[in-house]
Amino acid sequence: MTSSVEIPREPQGVHGDPDDAAPRAASLFVVPEGLVREQARPHPQARRYLRGYLRALRLLDLGTVTVAVVLAQLFRFGTGPRDLYSALGAVSYTTVSVALILGWMTALHLQNVYDGRLVGHGVQEYRQVFQASSWLFAIVAITAFAFKMDFARGYVILAFPLGTFLLLLGRWQARRWLVRQRRQGALSDRVLLVGNRDHVASLVVALGRAPDAGYQVVGACVDDAREGRVAGVSILGPESDVLVKALEHRADVVAVSSSAGLGQAGLRRLGWALESTDIDLVVAPGIMDVAGPRVLTRPVQGLPLLHVEAPRFGGPQLVLKNVADRIAAVLALVLLSPVMLGVALAIRRESDGPVLFRQERVGRGGRSFGMLKFRSMVADAETMLPALRVVDEGAGPLFKMRNDPRVTRVGAFIRRYSLDELPQLVNVVRGEMSLVGPRPPLPREVATYEADVRRRLLVKPGLTGLWQISGRSNLSWDESVRLDLYYVENWTPVLDLMILWRTVQVVLRPEEYGAY
């Protein structure tokens, strides 16, 4: 006879359990005991499939920190012995270096940089590494002050910046390898979704947009569709079967959407049941496309309230962005002037007409401006457009054509590598555009905008943006709008830096990102 483990119901109060309004609240999670024992894994932070990767990551960090500290010591003192003097006496810098290496590794561990649930998640991972180095530097400074340690400035000034830079560089290289594996379906969490059909479909689409995050959906438990598929994912059973199905399909994560009918008590009992395994319970709120910095969790009497801060479209950060944009644009114009001169000569030599193409675009607040580009088409391209609209391959109001007959030979090359966009640096210097922002729309496109799409005009359009690093011409209209709105509402300086960095990769590998 098969034994089982039952998660008991909570006793009802005088007025009854409010979750009884949902049919699933009366369900019991009953799981074969042997299945629980078979699946139980004791270390939730170290995913079984990531143990080798995390071990290699620790060795990489140890080697990186050691190289930085040793180079700092050799640069400052050479190969000879040197002592550090303090109120506690003298100690050799070799001993200080060993202690610093061990302290650095300890700081990394304390910042959970080896948590298998977080590695490979971009900004968050880099932020934790940077915070670990910053905390260690602060502790060293406080200790030196407290015990009157006469640290050699050259040693400290070289060790910490170099070590932090090498740690971040190593993480970036490791993450690139991990992302390649995850795009091939390896080294990813197996996720079981719970909720109604529409919400589960939305979660499938959202997780599918980010294979880098490492979430592989293995199935769904849905009450309003007990068989078949939803968004290409198999429906394994009703919501009350979630625990059994998670164990049967060896899930690493159970993601419960806000539409799930488990209720408060049911969700709590599910969490209790998962304690005997290392399956993570994740609750996906109803809000979408809101970045972490805008979300704060504020518990009130045991109720975790998500406070969503309103997006900000002004303030010191925006002033800093505008100043940094113009300075960077001026420097880019100086550095890229030979390339721009070469492109201009090639355009002039191939065909008659102006080198620069000026087109009216709509900027922040709906104000129009003349956007500059290198001319990549024949001189009378605009007059040919009406005849080509019957073969439009673009999304929504955008006109796109993969083999546009108006594009010249030089134009095809400069469009492929985005060299035609370089004159827009002048627009950035003028303050009409930003280095990073939504795609600058045409007036005829803006005329078709609905109210939500017009939010793209709350910020300056950008020379590059999320739309460019996420597929460009391969994106649907809805996806392009979603990316632009996400940027508008979740802009941060760190996000800008990441987009600029990814833009360099896109330009060097245009065939992978839909450039034509």
Question: Do 165 and 201 belong together in one domain?
Answer: no
Question: Do 477 and 340 belong together in one domain?
Answer: yes
pLDDT of 159 > 50? The answer is yes
What pLDDT was estimated at residue 207? 86
pLDDT tens-digit series, residues 291-313: 666 777 777 766 777 777 777 77
pLDDT of 3 > 60? The answer is no
Number of structural domains the chain divides into: 3
**In sequence order, what are the residues at sequence separation of 6 or more whose Cβ sits closer than 8 angstroms to the Cβ of residue 437?**
459, 460, 461, 462, 463, 465, 487
For residue 4, being part of any structural domain is answered with no
For residues 219-226, average pLDDT:
82
What pLDDT was estimated at residue 512? 59
- Which of 139, 167, 183 is the C-terminal boundary of a domain? 183
Q: What residue spans of 111-190 are helical by DSSP H?
A: 123-146, 153-183
Question: Do 88 and 148 belong together in one domain?
Answer: yes
Question: Do 197 and 222 belong together in one domain?
Answer: yes
CATH of the domain at 36: 3.40.50
For residue 293, being part of any structural domain is answered with no
Question: Do 108 and 218 belong together in one domain?
Answer: no
Range in 37-46, 127-136, 154-163, 491-500 with the lowest mean pLDDT? 37-46
Instruction: Label residue 158 by pLDDT band (50, 70, 90).
Output: very high
pTM of this structure: 0.72
Residue, of 234 and 268, whose pLDDT is higher: 234
- Which of 286, 304, 329 is the C-terminal boundary of a domain? 286
For residue 58, being part of any structural domain is answered with yes
What pLDDT was estimated at residue 294? 73
Question: Do 71 and 84 belong together in one domain?
Answer: yes
Question: Do 482 and 425 belong together in one domain?
Answer: yes
Question: Do 149 and 196 belong together in one domain?
Answer: no
Return the SS3 of 85.
strand
Q: Please state, rounded to an integer, the average pLDDT across all residues of the chain.
A: 82
pLDDT of 369 > 90? The answer is yes
To the nearest 10 degrees (0 to 180), the angle between helices 316-335 and 493-508 is: 30
- Which of 286, 306, 327 is the C-terminal boundary of a domain? 286
For residues 417-439, average pLDDT:
94
Instruction: Label residue 34 by pLDDT band (50, 70, 90).
Output: low
What pLDDT was estimated at residue 27? 46
pLDDT tens-digit series, residues 442-464: 898 898 888 888 989 999 999 99
To the nearest 10 degrees (0 to 180), the angle between helices 337-350 and 409-416 is: 150
Q: Cα 399 from chain centroid?
A: 29
339-343 LR contacts (CB < 8 Å, sep 24+): 339/419, 339/422, 340/374, 340/422, 340/423, 343/374, 343/410, 343/414, 343/419, 343/420, 343/422
Question: Do 501 and 360 belong together in one domain?
Answer: yes
Domain of 413 in residue numbering reads as 316-512
What pLDDT was estimated at residue 2? 38
For residues 271-297, average pLDDT:
77
Q: What angle do CA 428, 433, 435 make, to 5 degrees?
A: 70
For residues 471-475, average pLDDT:
69
Question: Do 235 and 354 belong together in one domain?
Answer: no
pLDDT tens-digit series, residues 480-497: 888 888 898 888 888 898
pLDDT tens-digit series, residues 126-141: 889 999 999 999 999 8
Question: Do 281 and 332 belong together in one domain?
Answer: no
Name residue 436's beta-bridge partners: 464
Question: Do 254 and 138 belong together in one domain?
Answer: no
Instruction: Label residue 39 by pLDDT band (50, 70, 90).
Output: very low
